[in-house]
């Protein structure tokens, strides 16, 4: 049976009604109108749907809404806006680190969780951190450079 | 003849302008310094005698896409509010075409870049530029747009001259402000703009601005679409939401020829949120109020449907034999050159056979579309590469006149050719009709995309060459077997949309037709760019397509250049020649030689350097479609003898695509093509058994990951006085041969079958 869930997403409280096993992805996209988390595989293989749960990167295509509880959810929208982008968003624009851009939500959110614990990583460490995120356009080199740029604060 | 420097572009976008509305918001808030640091690679400028290009045509003629779309206001409109709307028929899918087209329009009109508003292709009013494909957006679409902009500018200057009582020759324009040297005063485009100003056919004989007066073309303008994509803006059709929108999913058969023998939809219809279940022949679908409800109902319907699967596919391991035994092959000699009497005597003949498997586009975002009936018009928002051709096929299947179908482009995930974009548009149309015309968003699931997208065709290739005593090639014989690389919608004699084939009253696909050279399909780049005294290139075009195929980035060039450039390496080795020198020896085109020399210089190629059993390097070259971008790449690899894995450490590339519109955009495309090419070469292969495609997710179709990422180093050879050439696909085809040649350099063994996965490497080293 559908039931109400109280969610803290990007710093705001929301109540949504859904089946408990609904993947968080569809709640974020369709109930809260967020665009950034993307459906890529529904299998946890590609990372396009990534958001942060209490600061950790999760695959929202598999994570049930009932599992959120009191944790805070942050999506790419919660990092910054076009007017006031987050350092990672600024870096991705500066490096022009996108082609189609469909995977970029997952790249930035995975990098955010990673940089929060590894503020000064090597390029190799960044590649390792992103190893489970797939990009099909071949933008990898720019993505790594953008994450480095954000880490360097330039 | 050239100077070399790292290029930094001037940013022309201020922090508080919003050059685009809708899905293309403005790049904001980043500094010139930041972007200059980001500008990639080395740009080498070559100056040659300027020739006519990009919109230049013979007297009395118009650029190609204008001939078929003459109305000037179907291309652009000048608005009193100080903006210019551009209606291109070309579409964005992450390749940066829309930004480059905006640069071209702004430059020719003499207005600042921020004033340009790019409008998405829309069959209700956009010019019909057919497909956005073949790396032709700039050459063809840009040429037409530039000419249209020149006509608009000329119109405005004529009006200004009359108003200011000054000769047009005395007028100058700066950001739409027209002044005259003959008198005081000024008038702006925006004051002259009126409804209907450009509501007429384009005129012939319009002069274009001299190349030297370009300000925006040639600079790395930041992509218009990126800010929304990195901040969660509404960037894709997946992000569109219409009032009352429902969610649809399709339930595909388990295999191409599977027949539905039993289907019970009673329980699925009773599931929460389900609005309707559709069955028409073996097309099955469901519409629900919530997305997860549609997905759950899809799963229930999959369980409720009983199918029989014929054994219909060839043996994956014997595709080459299957092709060669084909009874209906259409055999064509696509190029032949007879030996001249002065040709040197052949002393030796070599032969080799190469293969390429079926490859998937494998877009990261599964295909998606929204369909709704609006004011009696079936309207579909789609990431198709060809809005007009799609409209043609949709109208046929839905039984509607063309005027009652409207296709509006909205971006999707990168497509790299003909993926599921068009198919899902028909799925959405069928499901929306079943829901009474309500807006229905359909996105394919991951396995829909892998199992049903049209793949890039498998290829089998024989090459034989004879060489003279000095190693020079005296004769080249080449045979390629493959299917069509162009089963896109909108073609004569059939409908090329998946669901149409599954309806109770099914449609047939169009008869496969080969694309003529120089572009070519299966034979794209089958004719080597080298100058051989004697050659014969034969295509065996196979109309029977056991596995669904269509356009896939670079079409047949990927397999053909793999074979040509691998075999050139084999011939160089047999002649005891350096692979770089050997290629140069067989080329007469200076631009071809320049990219090879540039990449060799950049990578510090040393003639005679020995591989050490693990490390090696190889080179490969092509001129894409024999008329477009020149690319040479050098791959540095390491072979891990324990795991039998090839690690590509670095790929160095040099490219000459004529005039560079956007240096950073070209770099981005080349980098992407190289990495995708490495992924295809090392890992990719669509798997199938005798009944069905078995590659259904990222585990069964692995692609290159960050942990396998090579370094990329690119040299751009800019030719500001020569036409811009299509570049988006050009760097893919030379990658596998460069890797295979590097493998030979390292190990002395040849890899002649793609992909170079661990099993193949192990077999080669055995």
* Residue B340 vs residues B470, B479, B530, B537: alpha-carbon distances, Å: 18, 22, 16, 17
Note whether residue B139 is domain-resident.
yes
Q: Is residue B215 part of a domain?
A: yes
Give the pLDDT band of residue B140 (cuts 50, 70, 90). confident
Window A:3-62, CB contacts with B under 8 Å: 18-19, 22-23, 26, 29-30, 33-36, 38-43, 45-46, 48
Architecture of domain A3-78: Roll (3.10)
Whether residue B284 sits in one domain with residue B183:
no
Verify that B333 and B350 share a domain, yes or no: yes
> Cβ B364–A102 below 8 Å, yes or no?
yes
Last residue of some domain: B231, B252, B271? B231
In what side-by-side order are the strands of the sheet with B346-356?
B330-337, B535-541, B473-482, B459-468, B346-356
pTM of the model: 0.94
- Greater confidence (B56 vs B82) lies with B82
Please state, as a whole number, how many other Cβ atoms lie within 10 Å of the Cβ of residue B645: 16
> Which domain range does residue B248 map to?
237-309+361-452
pLDDT above 70 covers what percent of chain B? 93
Burial of B315 (C-beta count, 10 Å sphere; 0-12/13-18/19+): exposed
For residues B377 and B526, membership in a common domain is answered with no
Same structural domain, B173 and B55? yes
pLDDT at position B60 is 83
Percent of chain B past pLDDT 90, that is, above it, reads 84
Window 427-446 of B, Cβ < 8 Å to A: 443, 445-446
- Examine the domain organization and report whether B431 and B547 are in the same domain: no
pLDDT, position B45? 61
The more confidently predicted of residues B429 and B37 is B429
The answer to whether domain A3-78 and domain A80-152 are alike in fold is no
Same domain, B590 and B646: yes
- Domain boundary residue, one of B231, B259, B280: B231
User: Picking from B90-99, B379-388, B699-708, which range would have the lowest pLDDT averaged per residue?
Assistant: B90-99
Question: Does the pLDDT of residue B360 top 90, yes or no?
Answer: yes
Give yes or no for B456 touching A (CB within 8 A): no
Asked if residue B314 belongs to a domain, the reply is no
User: Domain coordinates of chain A in residue numbers?
Assistant: 3-78, 80-152
- For the residues B729-752, what does the mean pLDDT come to? 98
Look at residue B727 and tell me if it is in a domain: yes
> Residue B153 falls within a domain, yes or no?
yes
The top-level CATH class assigned to A80-152 is mainly alpha
Closest-CA residue in chain B for A102? B413
CA-nearest residue of chain A to B232?
Answer: A36
Contact with chain A for residue B38, Cβ under 8 A: yes
- Residue B108 pLDDT exceeds 90: yes
Confidence band for B46, pLDDT divided at 50, 70 and 90: low
CA gap B432, B409 in Å, rounded: 18
Amino acid B231: pLDDT: 98
Asked which of B26-35, B173-182, B314-323, B479-488 is least confident by mean pLDDT, the reply is: B26-35
Chain B, 205 to 264: residues with Cβ < 8 Å from chain A are: 220, 222-223, 225-236, 238-239, 241, 247
Q: How would you classify the pairing of strands B259-263 and B171-174?
A: unpaired
Q: Binning pLDDT at 50, 70 and 90, where does residue B611 land?
A: confident
Tell me the nearest-neighbour CA distance from B301 into chain A, angstroms: 18
Domain count, chain B: 3
When pLDDT is averaged across residues B478-502 and rounded to a whole number, the result is 97
| pLDDT band with cut points at 50, 70 and 90 for residue B47 | low
Q: Are residues B6 and B107 in the same domain?
A: yes
Q: For position B15, what pLDDT does the model report?
A: 28
B333 and B250 in a common domain: no
Mean pLDDT over each residue of chain B, to the nearest integer: 91
Position B452 pLDDT exceeds 50: yes
B163–chain A nearest CA distance, Å: 42
Q: What is the pLDDT of residue A70?
A: 97
Evaluate if residue B25 carries a pLDDT over 70.
no
Q: Are residues B176 and B266 in the same domain?
A: no
Q: Is the pLDDT reported for residue B49 higher than 70?
A: no
Give mean pLDDT, residues A24-43: 98
Report the CATH number that the domain containing residue B60 is assigned in CATH.
Answer: 3.30.365.10
Residues of chain B contacting residue A40, judged by C-beta atoms under 8 Å apart: 364-366, 446
Contact B695, B688 (CB under 8 A): yes
Say yes or no: B333 and B304 in one domain. no
Chain B residues closer than 8 Å to A39 by CB? 238, 365-366, 443
Rounded distance between C-alpha atoms, residue B379 and residue B753, angstroms: 45
**Is B714 within the bounds of a domain?**
yes
Q: Assess whether B138 and B57 both reside in one domain.
A: yes
B545 and B421 part of one domain: no
Task: Identify the pLDDT of residue B164.
Answer: 93
pLDDT tens-digit readout, B584-609:
999 999 999 999 999 999 999 999 88
Q: Report the DSSP beta bridge partners of residue B305.
A: B263
Cα torsion angle, B713, B718, B722, B728, sign: positive
**pLDDT tens, residue by residue, B189-198:** 999 998 889 9
Residue B615 falls inside a structural domain? yes
The sign of the dihedral angle between the CA atoms of B398, B402, B406, B408 is positive
Task: Closest CB to A138: pick one of B411, B676, B711.
Answer: B676
Reported ipTM: 0.98
DSSP state of B697: S
Band of pLDDT at residue B3, cut at 50, 70 and 90: very low
B496 within domain boundaries: no
């Amino acid at each position: 049976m559908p039931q109400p869930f109280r969610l803290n997403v990007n710093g705001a409280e929301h109540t949504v009604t859904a089946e408990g096993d609904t993947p968080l992805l569809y709640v974020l996209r369709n109930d809260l109108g967020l665009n950034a988390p993307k459906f890529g595989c529904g299998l946890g293989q590609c990372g396009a749907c990534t958001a942060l749960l209490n600061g950790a990167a999760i695959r929202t295509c598999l994570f049930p809404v009932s599992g959120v509880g009191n944790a805070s959810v942050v999506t790419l929208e919660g990092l910054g806006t076009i007017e006031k982008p987050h350092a990672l968003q600024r870096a991705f624009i500066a490096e022009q680190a996108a082609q189609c851009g469909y995977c970029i939500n997952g790249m930035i959110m995975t990098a955010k969780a990673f940089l929060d614990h590894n503020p000064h990583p090597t390029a190799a460490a960044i590649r390792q951190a992103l190893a489970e995120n797939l990009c099909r356009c071949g933008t990898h080199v720019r993505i790594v450079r953008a994450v480095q740029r954000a880490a360097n604060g330039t | 003849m050239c100077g070399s420097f790292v290029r930094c572009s001037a940013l022309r976008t201020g922090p508080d302008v919003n050059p685009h509305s809708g899905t293309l918001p403005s790049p904001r808030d980043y500094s010139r310094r930041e972007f200059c640091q980001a500008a990639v690679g080395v740009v080498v400028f070559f100056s040659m005698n300027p020739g006519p290009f990009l919109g230049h045509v013979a007297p009395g003629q118009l650029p190609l896409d204008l001939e078929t779309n003459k109305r000037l206001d179907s291309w652009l409109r000048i608005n009193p509010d100080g903006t210019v709307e551009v209606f291109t028929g070309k579409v964005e899918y992450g390749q940066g075409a829309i930004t480059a087209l905006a640069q071209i329009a702004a430059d020719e009109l003499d207005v600042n870049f921020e004033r340009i508003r790019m409008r998405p292709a829309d069959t209700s009013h956009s010019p019909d530029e057919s497909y956005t494909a073949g790396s032709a957006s700039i050459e063809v679409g840009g040429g037409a747009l530039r000419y249209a902009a020149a006509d608009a500018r000329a119109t405005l200057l004529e009006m200004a001259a009359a108003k200011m009582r000054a000769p047009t020759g005395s007028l100058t324009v700066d950001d739409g402000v027209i002044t005259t040297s003959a008198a005081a005063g000024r008038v702006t485009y925006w004051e002259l703009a009126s409804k209907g100003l450009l509501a007429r056919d384009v005129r012939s004989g319009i002069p274009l601005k001299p190349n030297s007066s370009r300000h925006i073309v040639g600079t790395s303008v930041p992509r218009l679409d990126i800010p929304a994509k990195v901040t969660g803006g509404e960037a894709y059709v997946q992000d569109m939401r219409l009032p009352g929108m429902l969610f649809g999913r399709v339930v595909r058969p388990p295999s191409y020829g599977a027949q539905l023998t039993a289907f019970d939809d009673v329980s699925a219809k009773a599931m929460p949120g389900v609005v309707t279940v559709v069955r028409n022949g073996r097309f099955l679908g469901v519409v629900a109020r919530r997305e997860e409800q549609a997905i759950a109902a899809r799963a229930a319907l999959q369980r409720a449907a009983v199918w029989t699967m014929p054994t219909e596919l060839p043996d994956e391991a014997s595709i080459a034999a299957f092709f060669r035994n084909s009874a209906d092959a259409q055999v064509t000699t696509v190029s032949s050159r007879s030996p001249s009497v002065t040709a040197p005597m052949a002393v030796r003949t070599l032969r080799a056979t190469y293969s390429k498997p079926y490859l998937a586009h494998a877009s990261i975002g599964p295909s998606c579309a929204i369909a709704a009936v609006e004011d009696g018009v079936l309207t579909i928002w789609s990431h198709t590469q060809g809005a007009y051709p799609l409209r043609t096929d949709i109208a046929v299947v839905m039984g509607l006149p063309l005027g009652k179908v409207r296709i509006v482009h909205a971006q999707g995930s990168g497509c790299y050719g003909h993926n599921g974009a068009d198919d899902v548009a028909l799925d959405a149309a069928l499901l929306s009709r079943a829901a009474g015309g309500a807006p229905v968003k359909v996105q394919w699931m991951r396995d829909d995309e892998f199992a049903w997208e049209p793949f890039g065709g498998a290829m089998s290739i024989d090459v034989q060459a004879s060489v003279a005593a000095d190693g020079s090639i005296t004769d080249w014989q080449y045979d390629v077997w493959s299917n069509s690389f162009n089963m896109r919608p909108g073609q004569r004699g059939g409908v090329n949309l998946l669901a149409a084939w599954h309806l109770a009253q099914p449609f047939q696909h169009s008869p496969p037709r080969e694309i003529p050279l120089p572009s070519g399909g299966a034979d794209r780049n089958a004719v080597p760019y080298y100058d051989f005294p004697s050659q014969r290139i034969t295509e065996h075009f196979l109309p029977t397509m056991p596995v669904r195929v269509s356009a896939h980035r670079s079409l047949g060039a990927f397999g053909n250049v793999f074979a040509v450039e691998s075999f050139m390496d084999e011939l160089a080795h047999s002649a005891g020649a350096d692979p770089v020198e050997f290629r140069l020896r067989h080329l007469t085109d200076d631009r071809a030689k320049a990219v090879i020399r540039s990449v060799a210089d950049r990578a510090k190629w040393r003639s005679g350097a020995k591989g050490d059993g693990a490390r090696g390097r190889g080179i490969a070259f092509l001129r894409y479609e024999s008329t477009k971008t020149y690319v040479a790449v050098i791959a540095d690899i390491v072979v891990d003898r324990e795991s039998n894995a090839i690690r590509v450490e670095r790929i160095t590339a040099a490219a000459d695509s004529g005039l560079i519109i956007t240096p950073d955009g070209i770099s981005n495309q080349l980098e992407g093509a190289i990495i995708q090419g490495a992924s295809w070469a090392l890992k990719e292969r669509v798997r199938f058994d005798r009944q069905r495609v078995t590659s259904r997710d990222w585990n069964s179709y692995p692609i290159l990951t960050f942990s396998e990422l090579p370094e990329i180093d690119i040299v751009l050879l800019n030719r500001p006085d020569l036409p811009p050439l299509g570049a988006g696909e050009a760097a893919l085809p030379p990658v596998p041969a460069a890797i295979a040649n590097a493998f030979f350099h390292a190990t002395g063994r040849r890899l002649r079958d793609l992909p170079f996965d661990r099993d193949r490497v192990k077999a080669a080293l055995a």
